[in-house]
């Protein structure tokens, strides 16, 4: 009896200590200086810093939640197409492997819209079209077309309200996606129509995201007048998408066929990432986000994925993040999808 009471006491004290420390963390706004200092005390492999003002919080949550809540937990048929006895380099960067493909190092800005699912996917598709052509085809696959025209991708076509990346890859195979690149990029049939905006501190050149109030653009099945292109004729197509969940399979897929798209659970410390290898220090979930993996490496003994975010170049490491590899941290490895372009 006494022993039991003792045990309970121990557990209860532990629980209240946890509750207390959680309460302390919750006391500070996720974007505040105090919280950033807390993260920097806790994080062993990365540094947090001020990327956003506290007033940006609603915009940040919208940007960090472009993948529908149930998307990561859907049942999938994972495959393991590669022979894992093949040699895999310790570091790899698609930008260096295929330097003539201009889409690979392109960092996107999703604007005030939860379209990361469309952009990360269209970016990986564009990279793969170029890679498959032996770096000759500089064709951008249109994130705009995907965001506004794929009805099944987002439960009714509200792409800015978040989507299902796997449906986007399937749509590439079944319906095709026209060409088109960055906002006013003149990169094909339909460029992205939402302007880059000011998500970050200390910038003066872009409009404030919060002022834009963008809604999902209407689907237009015509090319922009400037492009002079025919919608049907400018479609690109993909092959059957594959789902991967193992580190080595993902590495070999990137090595052979180019960048892949993935999704993960976003914790509220993620927006403050500035450098190093990210591993969450918080369990406060704020959404699901999609990104493009283009390589990997090891930093100070910690294995990471090299990943492109879609929050412009003034976030993280010039728009990129190093993200802990090999532990399926927050589903980053079990949410990988990719397809080959149709030749
Ligand atoms: C790819 O392009 C390079 C030149 O950039 C050429 O030397 C090589 O033969 C090409 N490979 C294939 C398979 O066409
Ligand atoms: C933003 O500007 C302030 C004042 O000019 C400066 O102290 C601060 O370091 C800048 N922050 C960043 C992230 O550049
Ligand atoms: C989409 O079309 C409807 C009906 O024509 C219009 O009311 C709405 O403003 C349009 N939305 C956008 C974002 O252009
Ligand atoms: C676009 O191309 C398709 C297929 O070649 C053709 O049927 C259609 O008439 C063209 N549309 C326009 C507006 O020229
Ligand atoms: C790696 O470790 C060294 C020595 O502890 C440290 O000085 C350096 O800042 C670390 N590098 C990164 C990128 O964290």
Query: Whose C-alpha lies nearest to ligand 5, atom 2?
Result: 300
Nearest CA-CA partner of 117 in 311, 261, 290: 290
pLDDT of residue 144: 98
Ligand 2 lined by 201 (C-beta under 6 Å): yes
Whether residue 177 is contained in a domain is answered as yes
How far from chain centre, in Å, is Cα 273? 14
Cα 203 to averaged position of ligand 2 atoms, centre (Å): 10
CA of 202 to the centre of ligand 2 (A): 6
From atom 4 of ligand 3, which residue's Cα is the shortest distance away? 218
Q: Determine the length of the chain.
A: 343
Is 167 part of any domain?
Answer: yes
Residue 22 lies in a domain: no
Domain count, the chain: 1
pLDDT category at 20 given cuts 50, 70, 90 is very low
Q: Is the pLDDT of residue 4 over 60?
A: no
39-62 pLDDT, tens digit per residue, is 999 999 999 999 999 988 998 999
Q: Best mutation site among 231, 233, 234 for ligand 4, i.e. most ligand atoms within 8 A of its Cβ?
A: 233
Distance 147 CA to ligand 3 centre (A): 15
Is the beta carbon of 54 within 6 A of some atom in ligand 2? Answer: no
329 CA → ligand 5 middle, Å: 22
Higher pLDDT, 319 or 206: 319
Q: Is 186 in the pocket of ligand 4 (CB under 6 A)?
A: no
> What is d(CA 255, CA 9) in angstroms, rounded to the nearest whole number?
54
Which atom of ligand 3 sits closest to the CA of residue 214?
A: 13
| Mean pLDDT lowest among 12-21, 172-181, 208-217, 263-272 | 12-21
With a 6 Å cutoff on the Cβ, whether 204 touches ligand 2 is no
Across 125-138, b (16+ Cβ under 10 Å) vs e yields bbbbbbbbeeeeeb
Check whether 229 has a pLDDT greater than 80: yes
| 14 lies in some domain | no
Concatenate the DSSP letters of all residues of 125-163 into one string.
Answer: HHHHHHHHTTS---PPB-HHHHHHH-TGGGTTT-GGG-B
Q: Report how far ligand 2's centroid is from the alpha carbon of 50 (Å).
A: 9
| Residue 17 forms part of a structural domain | no
Band (pLDDT 50/70/90 cuts) for residue 236 is very high
Is 238 or 204 the better-scoring residue by pLDDT?
A: 238
Residues contacting ligand 3 via CB (< 6 Å): 215, 217-218
Per-residue pLDDT at 2 exceeds 70: no
- Flag whether pLDDT at 201 surpasses 80: no
Which residues are catalytically annotated?
Answer: 116, 289, 309
Strand boundaries in the chain, DSSP class E: 46-48, 92-93, 177-178, 235-236, 242-244, 260-267, 273-278, 285-299, 302-308, 320-324, 336-338
The average pLDDT across 56-80 equals 89
The per-residue pLDDT for range 157-180, each reduced to its tens digit, is: 899 999 999 999 999 999 999 999
Residue 1 inside a domain? The answer is no
**Percent share of the chain, pLDDT over 70:** 91
pLDDT of residue 207: 85
pLDDT value, residue 204: 64
- 69 is a domain residue: yes
Residue span of the structural domain in which 83 resides = 30-338
Looking at residue 132, which CATH number applies to its domain?
Answer: 3.90.70.10
Residue 195 is assigned to a structural domain of this protein: yes
267, pLDDT greater than 70 = yes
Measured from the Cα of 222, ligand 4's closest atom is 13
3-state SS class at 266: strand
Task: Using the predicted structure, report yes or no on whether residue 28 has a pLDDT greater than 60.
Answer: yes
The mean pLDDT of the chain is 91
| Of the candidate ranges 64-73, 108-117, 199-208, the one whose mean pLDDT is the lowest | 199-208
For residue 216, the ligand 3 atom closest to its alpha carbon is 13
In angstroms, rounded to a whole number, what is the distance separating the alpha carbons of residues 129 and 101? 9
């Amino acid at each position: 009896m006494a022993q039991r009471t003792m045990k309970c006491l121990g557990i209860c004290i532990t629980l209240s200590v946890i509750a207390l420390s959680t309460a302390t963390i919750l006391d500070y706004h996720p974007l505040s200086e105090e919280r950033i200092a807390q993260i920097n005390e806790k994080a062993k492999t990365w540094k947090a810093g001020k990327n956003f003002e506290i007033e940006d919080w609603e915009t940040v949550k919208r940007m960090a939640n472009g993948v529908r809540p149930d998307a990561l937990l859907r049942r999938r048929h994972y495959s393991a197409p590669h022979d894992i006895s093949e040699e895999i380099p310790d570091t790899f960067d698609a930008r260096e492997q295929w330097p003539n493909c201009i889409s690979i190092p392109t960092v996107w800005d999703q604007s005030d819209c939860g379209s990361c699912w469309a952009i990360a996917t269209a970016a990986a598709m564009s990279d793969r079209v170029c890679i498959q052509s032996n770096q000759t085809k500089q064709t951008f696959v249109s994130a705009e077309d995907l965001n506004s025209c794929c009805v099944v991708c987002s439960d009714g076509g509200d792409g800015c309200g978040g989507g299902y990346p796997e449906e986007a890859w399937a749509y590439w195979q079944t319906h095709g996606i026209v060409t088109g690149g960055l906002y006013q990029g003149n990169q094909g049939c339909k460029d992205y129509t939402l302007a880059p905006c000011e998500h970050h501190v200390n910038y003066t050149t872009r409009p404030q995201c919060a002022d834009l109030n963008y809604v999902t653009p209407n689907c237009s099945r015509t090319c922009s007048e400037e492009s002079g292109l025919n919608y049907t004729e400018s479609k690109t197509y993909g092959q059957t998408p594959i789902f991967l969940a193992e580190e080595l399979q993902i590495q070999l897929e990137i090595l052979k066929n180019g960048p892949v798209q993935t999704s993960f659970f976003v914790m509220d410390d993620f927006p403050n990432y500035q450098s190093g290898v990210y591993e969450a220090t918080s369990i406060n979930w704020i959404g699901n986000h999609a990104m493009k993996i283009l390589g990997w490496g090891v930093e100070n003994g910690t294995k990471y994925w090299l990943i492109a975010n879609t929050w412009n170049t003034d976030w993280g490491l010039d728009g990129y993040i190093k993200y802990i590899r090999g532990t399926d941290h927050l589903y980053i490895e079990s949410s990988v999808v990719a397809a080959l372009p149709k030749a």
